Amino acid sequence: MAHWLLKSEPDSYGWDDLVRDGGTEWDGVRNHAAAKHLRAMAVGDDAIFYHSGKDKAAVGIARIARAAQADGDEGWVSVRVEPDRSLPRPVTLAAMKAAVGLQDMAMLRQSRLSVSPVTDGEWTALMRLAGE
DNA sequence: GCCAACGTTGGC
DNA sequence: GCCAACGTTGGC
């Protein structure tokens, strides 16, 4: 099972919104690298939900509830995402940068990427930081 | 408010 | 095909 990281600006659509809605269509992605990751997602994959902007912290774990389908007519895709659980302790960006084993995270190396892969090792390290 | 990174657009 | 200009994202 693969792991991912989804980034969102909490003022536009945050973790609380996802929990309230019980899930949402992760659409509107218009970046080829991010779209490639969306296409690689499978039902049941877990995704860290990260708040950019003021929070700058991973706050929850979401699950991919449906694989990629067309989002518009130009080859872009969207997936369905549902909330799984909140993290016992949010993991801040500063904590990720400081953590051994997370320095190479795709999200840290390319900060603008809104959808990125997380390796098994990174996932384990993140869960430890999150108090899971 | 500024700047770095990165993608897109358009002139040549 | 190159590159300057510009827009967007996101951290500081």
Domain membership of residue A18 as a residue range: 3-129
Q: How far is CA A56 from CA A1, A107, A115, in A?
A: 26, 12, 15
Read off the pLDDT of each residue in A107-125 and give the average, rounded to a whole number. 94
CA of residue A32 to C1' of nucleotide C2, angstroms: 22
Whether the per-residue pLDDT at A49 is higher than 90: the answer is yes
Evaluate if residue A18 carries a pLDDT over 90.
Answer: yes
Report the pLDDT value the prediction gives residue A56, as an integer from 0 to 100: 95
Q: Over 90: is that where the pLDDT of A73 sits?
A: no
CATH number where A58 lies: 3.10.590.10
The answer on pLDDT for A111 being more than 90 is: no
Q: What is the DSSP string of A52-119?
A: TTTT-EEEEEEEEEEEEEE-SSSS-EEEEEEEEEEEEEEEEHHHHHHSTT-TT-HHHHSTT-SEEEE-
- Closest nucleotide over all strands to A30 (CA to C1'): B7
Question: Which positions of strand B lie within 7 Å of protein CB atoms?
Answer: 5-8
Mean pLDDT over each residue of chain A, to the nearest integer: 94
Q: Provide the number of structural domains found in chain A.
A: 1
- C1' (C5) to CA (A104) span, angstroms: 32
